[in-house]
Amino acid sequence: MSISTPGGPERHPTVASSTKKSAGGRPAKPGSGTPAGGRPGSGKPVGSQRGGKKPRKPITPVRVSQERNWGPIALFVAVGVLAVAIVGYGGWAAFQGSKPWDERANEIAGIVNYREKDPELVTGGNHQQGSIQYSVLPPVAGPHNDAWQNCMGDIYDAPIASEHAVHSLEHGAVWITYQPDLDAGQVEKLAERVRGNEKLLLSPYEGLDQAISLQAWGYQLKVDNADDGRIDDFIKTLKVNASVEGPTALCAQGVTATGTTPRELGPQMPQ
């Protein structure tokens, strides 16, 4: 078909060929065009690497093994063991506390129970004037003076009359004695237990065969050191409990003087 244009020769429309030529004028082979997503003329599929390298393999995730954290577990176990121990000790202490005091006294290592060993000695608590000869030293029971030694946590720095002290034992006091040359630090540890505590008294005693001797009515315990835990056991178990006259027996209004000769104060002393 021809198209005429004014004032000029006929021109034929240019028809675009759908066939591309390859280099050298030859038609390009089918499929030699630019691949989708690729570079013209590369002929390489999408995803191919430069330099002819092979595609990288996917990286396999590395599993990190986590070791068990034993710290919290050990702490939990320790707390559990401690709790069981506390509960167990509480039960044991409650059981011990439920025992009669005389049974608990007999469980104190080294204690001498004269109530069982010499019942006659313990029952002979008559009042008697003048000096008294005792078979057990320091004495733990027996006849004694009408007046008792003041036992309101009193600390005596010199020996006292046994006749007054035994009367204090009858009232439920614990009398702690020590060798006169005992180290001052040891004496102070004993004094700390006694000072200001009713039903307790402390004094030196001549002729002790051990450093410290504790007396309650019918009981005695001798130890070599003021740090001995049995001292506290003796006091806790026998103070008041060993009383012959009951817990209301007085410790006040007694003799406060030192000296081994008993004082004859007569009937003015309350009984």
Each residue's pLDDT tens digit, 214-253: 999 999 999 999 999 999 999 999 999 999 998 899 999 9
- What pLDDT, on the 0 to 100 scale, is given for residue 90? 57
DSSP state letters, 205-247: -TT-SSSEEEEETTEEEEES-TT-THHHHHHHHHTTTT-SS-T
- Residue 194 pLDDT grade (very low, low, confident, very high; cuts 50, 70, 90): very high
pLDDT (tens digit, 9 = 90+) per residue, 136-168? 999 999 999 999 999 999 999 999 999 999 999
Distances (CA, A) of 199 to 44, 240, 248: 110, 7, 11
Q: What is the mean pLDDT of residues 105-110?
A: 98
Return the pLDDT at 75.
Answer: 81
Average pLDDT over residues 86-104: 70
pLDDT at 24 exceeding the cut of 60: no
Q: What is the CA radius of gyration of the chain?
A: 54
- Listing DSSP states for 103-126 in one string gives HHHHTSTT-EEHHHH-HHHHH---
Share of the chain above pLDDT 70, in %: 69
For residues 220 and 110, the answer to whether their CB atoms sit within 8 Å is no
Better-scored residue on pLDDT, 17 or 82: 82
Predicted confidence band of residue 62 (pLDDT cuts 50, 70, 90): low
Q: Is 53 helix (H, G, I), strand (E, B) or coil?
A: coil
Which residues, in sequence order, are CB contacts of 220 under 8 Å at separation 6+? 111, 112, 114, 136, 138, 140, 213, 214
Q: Which residue has the higher pLDDT, 156 or 79?
A: 156
The confidence band for 80, taking pLDDT boundaries of 50, 70 and 90, is: confident
* Residue-level pLDDT at 268: 43
Q: Is the dihedral of CA 185, 189, 190, 194 positive or negative?
A: positive
Average pLDDT over residues 4-24: 52
- pLDDT, residue 73, reads 77
Kindly tell me if the per-residue pLDDT of 271 is higher than 50.
no
Q: What is the pLDDT of residue 246?
A: 87
In tens, the pLDDT along 38-59 reads: 555 555 555 555 556 667 777 7
Structure confidence by residue, pLDDT tens digits, 166-180: 999 999 999 999 999
Cβ(174)–Cβ(234) below 8 Å: yes
- pLDDT for residue 186 is more than 60: yes
* Average pLDDT in the chain: 82
Where exactly are the structural domains of the chain? 76-100, 108-268
Calpha distance 101→211 (Å, rounded)? 26
